[in-house]
Amino acid sequence: MAGDVEKRDTLLARLRAAHPERPARRLKDLVLHGLVKVDGVVETRPHAPAAENSTIEVARQPRKTEQPPLTIVYEDRDLVVIDKPANLLTTSARHEKDWTAYKILNRILGDKRPRAKALIVHRLDYATSGLLVFAKNHLIQEALKKQFEAQLAERGYVGVAKLSPLLQRDSGTLTHYLTEDKHLRVRAHRGKQPNSVVAVTRFFVERRNPARGIALVRFALETGKKNQIRVQMAAQGASIDGDRKYGQPPHVLPRLALHAGHLAFRHPRAGRSLRFDSPTPPEFLALFRV
């Protein structure tokens, strides 16, 4: 009996009762992607407790007629680089098929040339903002993917992290082995695990704000694994601010404080190096003004 009561008091159970018309898997995805709040706080655990008198909010998905929330940074006949805002999927998930960077970009390109198409090369997390490159044909797509897989592309991020002992150092390198569980949570381990992948991230502390207990940190990826920076920093007690999935409260910002600010790769057709930089979000910098 106690088990039944406990099951009824979970967030997923409350959502299923409130939205019987929506599949349970889709509701679970909404929670995992940070689109559900319990009493005003984002909750990413589907089976987290949710009392009967709790206020549960599901984030409104933008209307498809709203202004496209992305900026084209560079475009030629082979590829296009965009600056993606936070809280937008790169490509479709079970709960959202249409309002994604991929679909929005293809609508923009299609308005210019009916047969134009953007193809996925790499991804950013839903909550992470910043630079993404898309290919315009399959040959360029495969060539770019090979660069990313071989770690030849440069990817740099800037974030606000908790000021742990790790970030008293000005720089360092994090090496972990990552695994993913059935709930899509990635975990960092010091030693190799079954089915684990290695993740290597270099970090450089730019500014510190001891009063707020935070630091502005730049990251350079030597590998590009799912949730890599977020998981590795959380494992060191220096979680990214606003990370409701891997971090610990309190949070200073209402969004995930992680931005993909640097991207560089070799143009597959022209052979020249392309380098792009996106400004650090002003809300990050505002936290470090004297």
- For the chain, what are the domain ranges? 2-58, 156-259
Between 184 and 80, the more confident residue is: 80
pLDDT at 1: 35
pLDDT digits (tens, 9 = 90+) for 133-191: 999 999 999 999 999 999 999 999 999 999 999 999 999 999 999 999 988 899 999 99
156-259: CATH class? alpha beta
H helices of the chain, where?
Answer: 2-8, 11-18, 24-32, 101-112, 138-149, 228-235, 282-285
Across 65-69, 239-243, 260-264, least confident range? 65-69
Report how far apart, in Å, the C-alpha atoms of 134 and of each of 98, 104, 137, 224, 227 are. Answer: 17, 12, 9, 17, 20
Taking alpha carbons only, the member of 180, 115, 168, 140 closest to residue 265 is 140
Report how far apart, in Å, the C-alpha atoms of 25 and of each of 12, 16, 94, 177, 263 are. Answer: 10, 10, 8, 28, 34
pLDDT at 65: 46
Q: Active site residue: 125, 181, 241, 243, which one?
A: 125
| Residues 213, 218, 223, 228, CA torsion sign | positive
pLDDT at 94: 66
* Backbone torsion region of residue 107, taken as left when φ is above 0, otherwise alpha when ψ lies between -120 and 50, otherwise beta: alpha
Between 264 and 39, the more confident residue is: 264
pLDDT at 60: 62
Residues 164 and 179: their CA atoms lie apart, in Å, by 24
Between 149 and 290, the more confident residue is: 149
Q: Are 89 and 70 in contact (CB under 8 A)?
A: no
pTM of the model: 0.78
3-state class of 281 per DSSP?
coil
- Which residue type is seen at 266? R
pLDDT at 32: 67
pLDDT digits (tens, 9 = 90+) for 12-45: 888 888 888 877 777 876 776 667 888 887 787 7
Across 14-23, 165-174, 228-237, 277-286, least confident range? 14-23
* CATH 3.40.50.2000 given to domain 2-58: no
Residues 65 and 205: their CA atoms lie apart, in Å, by 41
pLDDT at 287 over 80: yes
Nearest 10 degrees: CA dihedral of 64, 253, 83, 203? -150
Q: How confident is the model at residue 97 (pLDDT cuts 50, 70, 90)?
A: low
pLDDT at 4: 37
Could you confirm whether 125 is annotated as catalytic? yes
Give the mean pLDDT of the chain: 89
pLDDT digits (tens, 9 = 90+) for 190-212: 999 999 999 999 999 999 999 99
